[in-house]
Structure 1
Amino acid sequence: MRLSKAGGPEEAGADRAEGTDGAAAAAARPPGLSRGMVLLLAVTCGVAVGNVYFPQAVSPLVADGLNVSADTAALVVTATQFGYAGGIFLLVPLGDRIPYRTLIVTLLSLTGLGLLGAAAAPGIPPLIAASVLIGVTTVVAQVVAPTAAGLVPEERRGAVAGTLLSGSIGGMLLSRVFGGAVGEWLGWRAPYLMTSVVALLIACVLARALPRSTAPSRQRYPALLAESLRLLRTEPDLRRSGFYQAMIFGGFSALWTGVALLLTGPEYGLGASAVGVLALVNAATMLCTPVAGRQVDRRGSDAVNLVCMVAVLVASAVLFAGGIGGAVGLAALAVGSLLLDVAMQSGTVANQVRIFGLSDEARARLNTAYMTCAYVGGSIGSWLSVQAYGAFGWSGVCGLVALLATLALTRHVAHLRGAGQPVTPS
């Protein structure tokens, strides 16, 4: 497929540039992805993505260790996610310019150094600065996804995207368990130190395991950045996919930022490890995303998006009962968070399959625009969650999740009606 163009002289020049990029990409393309390489890349995604999420479990420990309020400590989570959004915009486009082995190994190495800096931070300001650096550089999963999409047939992209996403989900879940448990045992600095070692070790493994490749594009860096913005302006399917994910991922981030405050607060009085245990319940999501990918291949992205948005609304209602406390509340948190997690991740597969079908030559730039929208939404969702929890308690967080899902669903229903598609889940 080709990107939609207006047809003017400037666009014609862009077409010629993309044609050059496409020829270079075809020449640079590796022979394919073996099953073992897909698994290795899935593990790499998990290692990288985990660095964004384990701070959610340790933020209460940071508050105690640095003698700051819980709200202030939660800024570490927000800083990491804002850094991640910035890294997606600034660094992921380099996947169309730099050989992927060089880029992936470099990013993991810089992430390891940032984690070391966070472990040594004497106070909140340097910890927030290190968290931004961690977020900016730990974007390997967003480099891997478009690379893999270009190495498999179109009819299998959903299944492969689901497999890679399962690796990312594993990193998200295990990182929270790891961060909470190790943080309570050895202090909040220990998770940062240990994850730095893991990131550097993985970088060494990939430096030897990944095959060599040449740069798929000859465009200069400023042109790559400008192209991501242009794609967001000119591609309606990219814009709406980015909006869907910004809203749903914003609700997801709001949940996990707020639930750390709820579980460690007076309603439950649990430790930081409880956040990780709750996240571990969502391990079933790893099994669901490949299924969601096959449904996308069979039914299309729009149908899967619709079901996912309705599921997030249902999840927000179930999560509301988490404010009751006790066994009933914990059960509601487990069921509601699992439903929300499955819906968010399945929607991610649907959105990425849609946008990767827009162009064969600019997948990294398409993914840059899309994931920047997603993580800006996630960062805002985390910040709004702290405000909602402070003003209205847990019910405010659940209301925020429902509001964001409603905005996404309203936009999607408008699109389906305009396209003459059914607006009821099937």
Structure 2
Amino acid sequence: MSFKDFQLIKPLLKSIEASGYSQPTLVQERSIPIILEGKDLVASANTGTGKTASFVLPILQQLIDFQDAPKRGKKIRALILSPTRELAVQTQETFKVLGQFTNLRSMVVFGGTSIEPQIEQLKKGVDILVATPGRLLDLHKQDYINLDYIQTLVLDEADLMLNLGFLDDVKKVERLCPKDKQTLLFSATIPEKIEQLGDQLLKNPERVDVTTENSTVKEINQSLYYVTKRNKISLCQHLLRNQIKGNVLIFRRTKFGVEKLEERLAEVGYKVDTLHGNKNQSERQTALNKFKNGYSKILIATDVASRGIDIDSLDNVLNFDLPNVPETYVHRIGRTGRAGETGMSFAFCSPDEKNYVKAIETFTNQPIPVVDDHPYPMDPNTKSTVHKKKGSKYKKGRKGEGAKSRKKRWY
């Protein structure tokens, strides 16, 4: 199948060709016709399968009649809700690329950065708005955003949206939009909460499920290293010297862990950038751009980067800390091995993370190959150390003899 089969207008076909897209992915093939018919849709697909273009192209097609409206007369007719700033920026870039030969205007708003430039841009008029829930509601409360003309509402990465606690905000935004709008829900997974949300917000939705079991992990060469916590940084440096070729995205569980690893790698001469929630949006975008452009070969991140960030030709992913949610592991390694390319994934497992390995292998229905040949081997049967808080040597409610003798008595 080709994009011409969707009967898209020439400016869109021209932008598709200029972008290097050859033919639609499975999720695009099934979703685009449904959206063009104006129906509500619940779609799930594995990460890296082109979900964003699945709604960007039909939205641009549907709004083409409004492209020549005077700039200040433009109304927001399509709203895309994104759970993270990075995903919102990525979605806006897709709109710019695929809408480059139209006069449709799109913009992105998110928190963590100055609100004034966003207000000025909104005043000029836009057709398509990509937003994170918090900043959107803030701007709406100040009357800078009018949602009365929304024709299409997209809830992107809905499962992540719920995991981050945006459920109430999402429902509020949906109520602010017209009742007769088209609603599209895209998600990597469809847990029960997403099913309930779809039942509440969508009208007789069509369903597209192109998630294929293990499709992400099959395209990636995985390896698992059993190593104690104290040796993880040394093993990381060993792999960077001898095993990992090209760029690498390293995941750590905490911001403190990210900064500690950055410091240790910088000490031995590596160019490293970091991505975590304590950084403002400008710092996060700068770090991401430097990594994308090849200035730095190592990017260390918390899970803020595990979804929605499209890094072309990411060679390696290293799970320095294993996630306690199996789906997160799949999303993390899904940053590499995209669009049919083969990627490399490395994972460290300390004794207290062995249960995470079992959960991941059960979820993906395949074992992760273990590498024993490295300088810091650990027996996989080693049990985690349980640190018990030492109590007082005295029984509860009892004092020592010295304290008793010093106590003044009233009698």
Higher relative contact order (CA 8 A, sep 6+): 1
Larger helix fraction of residues? 1
Higher strand share: 2
**Taking structure 1 as the reference length, what is the TM-score of the superposition?**
0.24
Larger Rg: 2
